[in-house]
Structure 1
């Protein structure tokens, strides 16, 4: 297994490729980074790989983004959880949004793939 700092660099670079695909509208690049059994947990519900890549059918969805407060947790010999803050501007919008994201990356036969992601809008409200 990679050292913690190496794992953080690897996973952050991969996650950045996902965000870059959202900026360029490249569904093929997005799909290449997701596992076949990918599941996302989002404010509007669950989404599989087809839904994630399908959002790019009409082109780019994100105009700009910044990732910060990056943390990593090794979850096994060939997996890690990347946790971070994403500030982003949707295409056609003027207000930036903030999500806290957890992405599980696994090294499988096809290489590193994202198998799970949860995006939590940062609302500033406390936990009930």
Structure 2
């Protein structure tokens, strides 16, 4: 794992989280590929669904990334996996989930192709 690549992807992932804090749907959509696929406990979601969750403003009040791991099988494509600890807007309790995000470098910038969120404490398959 190269530290510069890990830092690049943590910065890209941070940008997505920040859109959830600011409620900026346009910025959120710009970070996701047109064919983005999200896999969540509620089902599948595309880019418009992901950005659409911000239609009524921010959804996250605070967050942090822990235990980040990186897989980079080929140049310009990498998977960032980590534990997210976050608090939704209007709630006092923290939640935790495991996230896997697939990023591709396009024209010098990283764009999110895929993300899967798994709530912590879910049953082991």
Band the TM-score falls in, shorter-chain normalisation: over 0.9
Alpha-carbon distance in 1 for matches of 2:93, 2:44? 25
Q: Is the 8 A contact 1:42 1:120 kept in 2?
A: yes
Give, in angstroms, the shift of residue 126 of structure 1.
Answer: 4.8
> What stretches of structure 1 of length at least 5 have no aligned partner?
none
Spell out the pairing of 1:1-128 with structure 2 (5 A cutoff): 4-109=2-107, 111-123=109-121, 126-128=123-125
> What stretches of structure 2 of length at least 5 have no aligned partner?
none
Structure 1 segments of 4 or more deviating over 4 A?
A: none
SS in 2 for 1:73: strand
Q: Is the 8 A contact 1:4 1:74 kept in 2?
A: no
Give, in angstroms, the shift of residue 4 of structure 1.
Answer: 1.6
SS in 2 for 1:58: coil
Give, in angstroms, the shift of residue 109 of structure 1.
Answer: 4.0
Alpha-carbon distance in 2 for matches of 1:110, 1:62? 28
Alpha-carbon distance in 2 for matches of 1:39, 1:31? 12
Evaluate the alpha carbon distance shift between residue 58 and residue 126 of structure 1 in structure 2; reply closer, same or farther with a 3 A threshold: closer
Aligned length: 125
Q: Is the 8 A contact 1:35 1:114 kept in 2?
A: yes
Give, in angstroms, the shift of residue 127 of structure 1.
Answer: 1.5
Q: TM-score, normalised by structure 1?
A: 0.93
